[in-house]
């Protein structure tokens, strides 16, 4: 049985990369998609494409840093589709640079989006999931959430935080008997717009060369999200590390 058919899934960071690819993949398998990102034109185009193929999708311009925007997403899912079954917390930024570059504005942006954005999404959906005693929270961390490397210190810190938050959510939900499942995904060089956000020139060149050499399509991560969602309700696969076969990350 397709355990994705009919599920209502919220996706943040849905206007490109992993979020966009996941929206298409899950819609193909019968999920009803709630798209969220800051760029309305892209969201509308993706929703239109899903509906043109017979799928169901709605969207809302969303800044995950704002708690009220996350709350509105949950309300949109309920008003459009009557429920919410899963949320994929995928919005993220990677303006990496050495600490000595003192890009403190970018440090704060990463903390706001990569950490607070995830917490805001959890806060928005958790009361509903607890009340219905079911739900699935998925989040995009990074291989930077498993190891630290020079030039990516703050980004790594934010992605390690995602790992800790998601594991804590899994354990607390298990203890509470709320049946809330979690899945944390650690991509390596996967197609996205993350590299375009790097302003430090030397760091940008290094990342661009890395991605040009190894990058695999975002659909590969979408396949993993679909796998996690399709598991029986009594089974939680909590962590996935995914990257190019040829990348020795």
Asked if residues 3 and 229 have their Cβ atoms less than 8 Å apart, the reply is yes
CA 183 to chain CA centroid, Å, is 10
Residues carrying an active site annotation: 155
Is 193 among the domain residues? yes
Domain membership flag for residue 153: yes
Q: Return d(Cα 45, Cα 100) in angstroms, integer.
A: 40
Closest CA to 93 of 108, 79, 83: 108
- Give the span between the Cα atoms of 12 and 106, in whole angstroms: 20
Is 138 part of any domain? yes
Tell me phi and psi for residue 220, to 5 degrees: -65, -35
Greatest distance between any 2 Cα atoms in the chain: 53
In a domain, 222, yes or no: yes
Tens digit of pLDDT at every position of the chain (249 positions): 479 999 999 999 999 999 999 999 999 999 999 999 999 999 999 999 999 999 999 999 999 999 999 999 999 999 999 999 999 999 999 998 999 999 999 999 999 999 999 999 999 999 999 999 999 999 999 999 999 999 999 999 999 999 999 999 999 999 999 999 999 999 998 987 777 778 888 888 888 888 888 899 999 999 999 999 999 999 999 999 999 999 887
Residues in the chain: 249
Domain harbouring 83, CATH code: 3.40.50.720
242 within a domain of the structure (yes/no): no
| 8 A C-beta contact, residue 25 and residue 222 | yes
- Determine, yes or no, domain membership for 212: yes
pTM of the predicted model over 0.75 = yes
Residue 220, classed as helix, strand or coil, is helix
- In a domain, residue 241? The reply is no
Count of domains observed in the chain: 1
Structural domain of 165: 8-232
Asked if the structure places residue 2 within a domain, the reply is: no
């Amino acid at each position: 049985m397709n355990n994705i058919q009919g599920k209502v899934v919220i996706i943040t960071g849905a206007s490109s990369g992993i979020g966009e690819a996941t929206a298409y993949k899950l819609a193909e398998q019968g999920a009803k998609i709630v798209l969220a990102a800051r760029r309305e034109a892209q969201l509308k185009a993706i929703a239109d494409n899903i509906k043109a193929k017979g799928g169901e999708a709605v969207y809302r311009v969303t800044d995950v840093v704002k708690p009220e925007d996350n709350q509105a997403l949950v309300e949109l899912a309920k008003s459009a589709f009557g429920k919410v079954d899963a949320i994929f917390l995928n919005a993220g930024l990677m303006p990496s640079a050495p600490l000595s570059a003192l890009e403190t504005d970018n440090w704060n942006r990463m903390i706001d989006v990569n950490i607070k954005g995830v917490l805001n999404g959890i806060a928005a959906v958790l009361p509903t999931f607890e009340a219905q005693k079911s739900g699935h929270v998925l989040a995009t961390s990074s291989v930077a959430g498993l190891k630290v490397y020079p030039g990516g210190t703050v980004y790594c810190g934010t992605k390690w935080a995602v790992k800790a938050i998601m594991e804590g959510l899994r354990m607390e939900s298990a203890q509470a008997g709320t049946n809330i499942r979690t899945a944390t995904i650690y991509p390596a060089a996967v197609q996205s717009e993350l590299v375009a956000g790097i302003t430090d020139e030397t760091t940008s060149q290094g990342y661009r060369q890395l991605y040009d050499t190894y990058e695999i399509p975002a659909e590969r991560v979408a396949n993993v999200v679909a796998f996690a969602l399709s598991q029986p309700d009594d089974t939680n696969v909590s962590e996935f590390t995914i990257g190019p076969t040829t990348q020795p990350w």
